[in-house]
Amino acid sequence: MPIVVDIDVMLAKRKMSVGDLADRVGITPANLAVLKNGRAKAVRFTTLAALCEVLKCQPGELLRWEPEDTAGE
């Protein structure tokens, strides 16, 4: 998927665990892991806003676009 989630980078910068972030944002650690590992199909703006509030960052620090590998075309 061309959208990459960099939550792990921000967690490392903030020295915060996945469990702590999940508790503070109000989502399950399993759902946060799905988002963090790039398996999520969507993210609610309210969740994104809560992540940004807790991590004290902008959405662009958590999400970035990378072009898909089209070497096989």
Which backbone phi and psi does 19 adopt, to 5 degrees?
-65, -40
Q: Roughly what angle, to the nearest 10 degrees, separates helices 18-25 and 45-55?
A: 120
Q: Which amino acid is at 52?
A: C
Task: Output the pTM of the full model.
Answer: 0.87
Per-residue pLDDT, 68: 84
Q: How far, in Å, CA of 32 to CA of 49, rounded? A: 14
Which residues of the chain are under the pLDDT cut of 70? 1, 70-73
